[in-house]
Amino acid sequence: MTETPRQRQHRQTMADILRIAHQQLATEGSAGLSLRAIARELGLVSSAIYRYVPSRDELLTLLIEESYTAYGDAVEAAESRIRRDDLGRRWLTIGRAVRRWAVANPAEWALLYGSPVPGYKAPPERTTAAGSRVPLLILAVLADADLQPSADDPPMTAALHRELDRLRPQFPGDLKPEVLTRGLLGFSSLCGLVSLELFGQFTNTVTQFPGHLDHQLARLGTVLGLPEPS
């Protein structure tokens, strides 16, 4: 279906709004997003921009959706190039791709994994699926490894076991609750390592970040139960 000039103009204006909003993220942070400032830069009267984006909360949601999509696309593309049976390499590649995207897009990483924006709550129906792509990719590696509970797994409360057991149909394969917790540990540890680097928390401690991440990913891979990369 051919776009009308009005539809084309609307699409272009939306693209410009999001481009400028990403620039604001980088310079002002999520709390400094301003629809009025975006309107000024576009040469619009302040009221006109609300025909495209009705509120700052909607702008934040659009930015989160766009960021999660770009992030998920980048990590999935990197992981897809690895041989399916090289499970350790797939895990290592996911971790490296997460860090690479975060370093290239620190403002967007902070929007996704930094401090919550006061007064804003992301609508789960629009952000949960996109935000689950990378953790699901990690769980898919564990599922392909056919991991099972072991004697090394620490005890789990009955309530937590029931909760994770209920969630199992949402995840790849037939991961037992004990294995799901390993996947959650892997994802949260990876995000923590990347965030500590980007937010300057390793100052005077670590400077060789790529090597440090690889070392910790190898350690985590052992905890997860994955083989070494081939």
Tell me whether residue 155 is exposed, middle or buried, using C-beta atoms within 10 angstroms of its C-beta: 0 to 12, 13 to 18, 19 or more: exposed
Q: 72, 127, 64, 80: which is closest to 98 by C-alpha?
A: 72
Confidence at residue 1, expressed as pLDDT on a 0 to 100 scale: 67
Confidence at residue 153, expressed as pLDDT on a 0 to 100 scale: 93
Biggest CA-to-CA distance, the chain = 65
Say whether pLDDT at 5 is over 90. no
Q: Boundaries of CATH 1.10.10 in the chain?
A: 1-54
Confidence at residue 31, expressed as pLDDT on a 0 to 100 scale: 86
| Confidence band for 46, pLDDT divided at 50, 70 and 90 | confident
Cβ(121)–Cβ(74) under 8 Å? Answer: no
CATH code: domain 78-224 is: 1.10.357.10
Confidence at residue 88, expressed as pLDDT on a 0 to 100 scale: 98
Q: For residues 135 and 33, what is the distance between their CA atoms, to the nearest angstrom?
A: 28
Mean pLDDT of 209-213: 97
Mean pLDDT of 64-72: 98
Confidence at residue 197, expressed as pLDDT on a 0 to 100 scale: 97
Confidence at residue 75, expressed as pLDDT on a 0 to 100 scale: 98
Q: Boundaries of CATH 1.10.357.10 in the chain?
A: 78-224
Rounded to the nearest 10 degrees, what angle do helices 177-198 and 209-224 cross at? 170
| Confidence band for 2, pLDDT divided at 50, 70 and 90 | confident
Write down the architecture of domain 1-54 according to CATH. Answer: Orthogonal Bundle (1.10)
Mean pLDDT of 29-57: 92
- Give 90-118 as a DSSP string: HHHHHHHHHHHHHHH-HHHHHHHHSSPPT
Say whether pLDDT at 19 is over 80. yes
CA dihedral of residues 125, 29, 95, 65 (deg, nearest 10):
20
